[in-house]
Structure 1
Amino acid sequence: MKKGKLLGFMVGSTVFLTACTTGNTADSEQEDGSNEKVFNLSVVQEMPSADLSLATDTISFTALNNVYEGIYRLDENNEPQPAGTAEMADVSEDGLTYNITLREDAKWSNGEPVTADDYVYGWQRTVNPETAAEYAYLYGYVENGNDIIEGEKDPSELGITAVNDHELEVNLDTPTPFFDNLLAFPSFFPQPQEVVEEKGDTYAETSDDSIYNGPFSLTEFDGAGSDTEWSYTANEEY
């Protein structure tokens, strides 16, 4: 996928999130007399994947944008804004080094903190040839990314380092003006290593096979590629 097409796809997969999270919920009293707020959505097909590393389509990315959060989100003007970070990254004058400070209050839906290691793990998992992620090539802009994709270097050599629990340093091979947009793309979101390794081959197969760090948690999702009905439930840890 060429750069222009990719960025257009990124915009398309995030606009729906804005509609879902800016107050477009039903405020009226429900049939059971409760004042629960429900917003009903329709999709044109089943969700092919709920795995951040393997998703490649608009249906999946729309869902993942609702239940996960990365370094940035795109706003109504498709401009990157801090999300999992306290502020925009400090970028070196040569455009090669990004120093990123994460929000210290960010948590997974199980109450565990979101840390810099979660980003390092998620990025390394996606770029690892064994994962067979179709969008691994996007990491070609990150230091050693192409060599890792080609199997010439280990994923641990990818240009992302956890300085401490809430600071990341990212090094690029070449200045990339649209890299901020990539940091808002689900393929670059953090992943919970303990859960991924515990679940193994069943990771993210259903909504119960992952944890979430976005405004919603995925619920009632029974299987990738087959289930056409699922829910977004407010994430109490967000």
Structure 2
Amino acid sequence: MKKGLLALAGVALTTAVFLTACGKSSSSSSSSKQILNVASNAEMATLNTIKYSDTTSLEALQNSFEGLYRFNSKNKPVLAGAANVSVSKDQKTYTFNLRKNAKWSNGDAVTAEDYVYAWRKMVDPKSASPNSQRFQPIKNGTQIAAGKLAPKELGIKALGNYKLQITLESPISYFSELMTGAPFYPQDKKVAEKYGSNYGTTSAKAVYNGPFTVANWTGTNLKWNYVKNKDYWDKKNVKLNKVNVQVVKDAATGGNLYKTNKLDYVMLTTDYIKQYERTAGYHSKPIPLIGSLSFNVHRSTTANVHFRKAIAMGFDKKTLVNNVLHVGSSLNGIVPKNFAYNSKTGDDYRQNAGNMLSYNLKEARQQWAEAKKELGKNKITIQLLTSDTTDSKQIGAYLQSKLETNLPGLTVELRSIPLKSRLAATTAYNYDIVYGTWQPDYADPVNFISDGGQYHLDDDYNNSNFRNLLNQAATTYATNPTKRWDTLIQAEKQLLQKDAFTAPVYQGGMSYLLKNKVKGLQISPYGTVLFYRNVEIK
């Protein structure tokens, strides 16, 4: 199972467009009930913080669980499950006093041991968590994930029922942002062990400590609810009583449901941006979501570095963005632009790092010729796996057309399946090339370089120079922003320019219109995930 995939990450969502046109406002009775009706363009895969790797599951987790920190209404990290924190002089040890009134939705107290239990399970190689790499900054996290130390050696200790100590390998500037992520949430040990491998496979087989609980999700159905959590410690500041979610993959259907007031907003495919961009209340902005291609290096064709480089440089990204997506921008590195800035110079990382895998037809054909020579083939057929959302299928069709045209002798077969099945197929190595999207959890380049939705990165990419550079950035240069920046740039160059382990495609954009009655709807600073905690219907 891949260990280098986030939540986000290999996500099969492309640009999400939230449409709310100027339709009839809801009745006062609807407002008084505080019920929000929304659409998602992909199904949910899990409610287990150890196992998630898709955006729909991430959104569910971030609205129904809570860790030490959360984002406030201004998208700044603030203490949540913890009442206060003290930091050692060397900035490596954090001691938290947890909220004594924080409870799980079954009435159990949320204790320090719940964090210890969840974190140790997360880094245990037996769990095969797609998010284990997120614990590299925690003391011994990397060695535990590699099987060199026992999970109990992780830098987390319960100093009492409500006192928690966390020790880092080296100081990091993004600690509070990191702690807002779903991999760092606690789990109720009693409940998790009761259900074992079935924990989080349905809404009934989990308990929640966030502002909402999840209800009526069977594990396969396309409708579920977020219900206000009566046991949430800050429930008085949660206005919504319920969020009704339904999966709507067809944009036309979603639009009709919205127009007939059955949805308060609906996700649309990129086809509909032009149709609605002049509608009152329309907004569009770049976001650090990326779309990329990952290769199965256990198959001879996609294991060939020349083949991967030919694919990576063999299609025009600007045309894709301008003519297919209608939002976002082309991306020639794994780290997006306007995302991470050097704390000393203020420089944007992407601008400093420059382009690494740009569209270059001449170079792509040279690499293609070399690949065919090494593989001993004049004609090559590969399969491109995508989810079955409209956006993903459109991007797949574009890539198929351009790559077959630009690389003579290449045949690209498209396979588009539901997101949950696509994630399972990728985990099981049942693919040649897979297209997906990913969004980060904290504003630092390493979040993309050491993860970025790159499938099986920890398992299959064992380049020693890359690993050494990441280690230097995390330790030797942890407190030297300039040298750390340069080291991360070298690591990205090794990953992309030299080895083409992954192929960046585009940086996403988000377009939406919001009804006046919906106040306080928050969008994650790192992508398209919605936070319902501060929403009120007026």
Find runs of 4+ consecutive structure 1 residues off by over 4 angstroms.
6-9
Q: 1:192 aligns with which of 178, 185, 188?
A: 188
Corresponding residue number in structure 1 for 2:225: 231
Contact kept, 8 Å, 1:73 with 1:184, in 2: the verdict is yes
Contact kept, 8 Å, 1:217 with 1:233, in 2: the verdict is yes
Contact kept, 8 Å, 2:7 with 2:55, in 1: the verdict is no
Q: CA deviation at 1:54?
A: 1.2
Q: 1:64 aligns with which of 61, 65, 72?
A: 61
Output the CA distance in 2 between the equivalents of 1:196 and 1:75: 29
Contact kept, 8 Å, 1:27 with 1:36, in 2: the verdict is no
- 2:133 aligned with 1:165, yes or no? no
TM score, norm. by length of structure 2 = 0.38
> Deviations for 1:147-205, whole angstroms, at most 9, x for unmatched residues?
10000111111000000011111001111111111111010000011111110121110
Contact kept, 8 Å, 1:101 with 1:166, in 2: the verdict is yes
**Could you tell me which amino acid in structure 1 is paired with residue 49 of structure 2?**
L
Corresponding residue number in structure 1 for 2:100: 104
**Could you tell me which amino acid in structure 2 is paired with residue 50 of structure 1?**
L
Matches within 5 A, 1:1-238: 28-30=28-30, 35-87=32-84, 89-223=85-219, 226-238=220-232
Q: CA deviation at 1:35?
A: 4.9
1:28 to 1:46, Cα distance in 2 relative to 1, 3 A: same
- Residue 56 of structure 2 aligns to a residue whose secondary structure is helix
Contact kept, 8 Å, 2:7 with 2:54, in 1: the verdict is no
Contact kept, 8 Å, 1:92 with 1:98, in 2: the verdict is yes
Output the CA distance in 1 between the equivalents of 2:88 and 2:28: 50
Q: Which runs of 5+ in 1 are unaligned?
A: 1-5, 10-25
Output the CA distance in 2 between the equivalents of 1:202 and 1:8: 22
- Residue 41 of structure 1 aligns to a residue whose secondary structure is strand
Output the CA distance in 2 between the equivalents of 1:53 and 1:71: 17
Output the CA distance in 1 between the equivalents of 2:109 and 2:28: 35
Contact kept, 8 Å, 1:91 with 1:97, in 2: the verdict is yes
Contact kept, 8 Å, 2:46 with 2:202, in 1: the verdict is no
Output the CA distance in 2 between the equivalents of 1:79 and 1:95: 20
> Deviations for 1:51-71, whole angstroms, at most 9, x for unmatched residues?
111112221111111111110
Output the CA distance in 1 between the equivalents of 2:82 and 2:170: 23
More strand by share: 2
Q: Which runs of 5+ in 2 are unaligned?
A: 1-5, 10-25, 233-538
> Relative to structure 2, which stretch is displaced further, 213-222 or 71-80?
71-80
**Could you tell me which amino acid in structure 1 is paired with residue 75 of structure 2?**
N
- Residue 135 of structure 2 aligns to a residue whose secondary structure is helix
Output the CA distance in 2 between the equivalents of 1:148 and 1:35: 51
**Could you tell me which amino acid in structure 1 is paired with residue 227 of structure 2?**
T
Q: CA deviation at 1:7?
A: 11
Output the CA distance in 2 between the equivalents of 1:50 and 1:155: 22
- Residue 86 of structure 1 aligns to a residue whose secondary structure is strand
1:156 to 1:85, Cα distance in 2 relative to 1, 3 A: same
1:27 to 1:96, Cα distance in 2 relative to 1, 3 A: farther
- Residue 94 of structure 2 aligns to a residue whose secondary structure is strand
> Relative to structure 2, which stretch is displaced further, 44-53 or 102-111?
44-53
1:7 to 1:75, Cα distance in 2 relative to 1, 3 A: farther
Output the CA distance in 2 between the equivalents of 1:176 and 1:121: 23
Contact kept, 8 Å, 2:70 with 2:77, in 1: the verdict is yes
Aligned pairs, how many?
Answer: 212
**Could you tell me which amino acid in structure 1 is paired with residue 190 of structure 2?**
E
Contact kept, 8 Å, 1:43 with 1:228, in 2: the verdict is no
- Residue 115 of structure 2 aligns to a residue whose secondary structure is helix
Output the CA distance in 1 between the equivalents of 2:42 and 2:8: 21
Q: Percent identity?
A: 37
**Please, what is the CA RMSD of the aligned residues?**
2.1
Whose radius of gyration is greater, 1 or 2?
Answer: 2
